[in-house]
Homo-oligomer: A and B are copies of this chain.
Amino acid sequence: MDNVLKEITPKSVDYSQWYTDVIRKADMVDYAPVKGFMVIKPYGYRIWEFIQAAMDQLFRETGHENAYFPLLIPENLLLKEAEHVEGFSAEVAWVTQGGSEPLAERLAVRPTSETIIGAMYSKWIQSYRDLPVLMNQWANVVRWEKATRPFLRTTEFLWQEGHTVHRTQAEAEFETRQQLEIYRRVIEGQLAIPVIAGRKSAGERFAGAVETFTLEALMGDGRALQIATSHFLGQNFSQAFEIQFLDEDGTLKYGWTTSWGSSTRMIGGLIMVHGDDKGLRIPPRVAPVQAVIVPIPRGAEAEQVMEYARGLRDALQAKGVRVRLDDRAEFTPGYKYNDWEMRGVPLRIEVGPKDLANQAMVLARRDTGEKESVRREGFEHVVLQRLDDIQNVLFSQALEHQKTHTVQVENYRQTEEYGYRGFFEGDWCGRETCADLLKAETGMTIRCLPLDRQPLGVGCVVCGEPSQERMLFARAY
């Protein structure tokens, strides 16, 4: 709606300003009247819908069902799991008045739903025959954050949260890892963001979890983003909420629970991983517009060019391509090129009188900037092929960036020469005191203990003591 294309600050000049420029100029998001809240505009929301569709299908294929639990949680429920409440109490927004009357007990706007779902599961589960319970909800949550940034950290955000109960520890552990793998499939396969999977160290775990698994992605500025997490909760919540079942052997047992979540934060990751100085670059599988047709209606053939462009649009639509014909009369083709490049549309199709005469068109790729002339006959297949290519190239570029910005170190002081930017891998003694020192001196945190790495045995990068773990550390969003 803001039709004047303004300059985007180059990434190299000010990455943070670049991010802010891109998300607003590309009509992804806007700031709300309350500080820390965002309005997700249609162009941003559509990406969320594609993510939802992909995840929801995988959740369903693995036996999960969607449900909906209340937004407001009584304070007494929130207090039941000691570690959990300690982790979240500083971030809760409280409802204290309903209609014209003050409430007898204040109600938390859910920061996450383990507690209220635990209370319901306790009612619903009696027998081993009731297990497993595999539910997910798509919902909004509120966490009163001090420093916010659209998509990455906002007071309210949209997410899904899965909550499951199992008969055995092994089943719950399997579930935790299975859901992590589903996140990886969607984030790598749809968003083209390569991730490192690992366990969180004790200091970085979800409040109340026995084990937290995470996917960590590297952003364009060398900072890490925790992009999805899956928690094995052991029996902490089942004991706090009395989620018990009568097992086949006639004894009463506590269930084993998990929870796992991913949010609109993923859209922030997509922007920072793929964007460039021209703006967004959206992977085709989640692009609201996959191809835009820009007609160049010159001279006597103007109307024929438009007609030709409409034919191309219809042909692509028939193949299921999300295509837009930009027939706005008030803008030049050059303006439109910039506009759609900024919005990250993967493929541009240019058609002018010469293309009409040759029954051809020019395809311009957003990922590489390459242009090629393509014949009208069978062009739909070329477009589909190029969209696949672009999806793969974006992933490859991001993976290359991640690999070239991952450095093995033996001492954490080596990270200074990289400006503390990038993923760093090193051995760790396993003590939180070393994690604290690392953070205090470098601003870096342990992102995860990667699943496929072993300590090299060269000693902790902080204290030099014998290594217990191989860790990935970085400055993070």
Instruction: List the interface of chain A (C-beta within 8 A of B).
Output: 1-3, 30, 32-34, 37-42, 45-46, 48-49, 65-74, 77, 90-100, 106-107, 109, 116, 119-120, 123-127, 129-130, 133, 135, 139-140, 142, 144, 155-156, 158, 330
Q: A71-B109, A99-B144 are in contact. List 20 more A-B contacts (CB 8 A).
A: A2-B124, A30-B120, A30-B123, A32-B116, A32-B120, A34-B74, A39-B70, A45-B66, A71-B156, A72-B93, A91-B99, A93-B95, A93-B97, A93-B107, A94-B96, A94-B97, A96-B97, A109-B109, A129-B330, A139-B140
Q: Which residues of B are found within 8 Å of A67, using beta-carbon distances?
A: 39-42, 45
**B34 near A72: Cβ-Cβ < 8 Å:** yes
State A72–B155 Cα separation when bound (angstroms): 10
Give the shortest distance, in Å, between A132 (CB) and chain B (any CB): 12
Which among A95, A124, A130, A330 has the highest number of chain B CB atoms within 10 Å? Answer: A95
Q: Which residues of B contact A96 (CB under 8 A)?
A: 94-97
A71-B144 contact given A91-B99, A119-B33, A130-B1, CB 8 Å threshold? no
Q: By the criterion CB–CB under 8 Å, are B98 and A95 in contact?
A: no
Most buried by B among A91, A109, A126: A109
- Tell me whether A90 and B100 are in contact (CB under 8 A): yes
Alpha-carbon separation in the docked complex, A40 to B117 (Å) = 12
Stoichiometry (number of copies): 2
Which of B3, B45, B142 has a CB less than 8 Å from the CB of A68? Answer: B45
Cβ-defined contact, A70 with B156, below 8 A: yes
Q: In the complex the two chains form, what is the Cα distance from A436 to B1 in whole Å? A: 46
| C-alpha spacing A126/B1, complex, angstroms | 8
22 contacts between A and B (CB under 8 A): A2-B124, A30-B123, A32-B120, A34-B70, A38-B70, A39-B67, A39-B70, A40-B67, A40-B68, A42-B66, A45-B65, A46-B65, A72-B156, A90-B99, A90-B100, A92-B99, A94-B97, A95-B109, A96-B97, A98-B144, A99-B144, A109-B109
Contacts of A330 in B (CB 8 A): 129
- Which residues of chain B have C-beta atoms less than 8 A from A93's C-beta? 72, 95, 97-99, 107
Is A116 touching B33 in the complex (CB atoms < 8 A)? Answer: yes
Q: How far is the CA of A111 from the CA of B464 in the complex (A)?
A: 58
6 nearest CB pairs, A to B:
A42-B65, A99-B144, A40-B68, A98-B144, A37-B70, A94-B97
B74 and A33: CB pair below 8 A?
yes
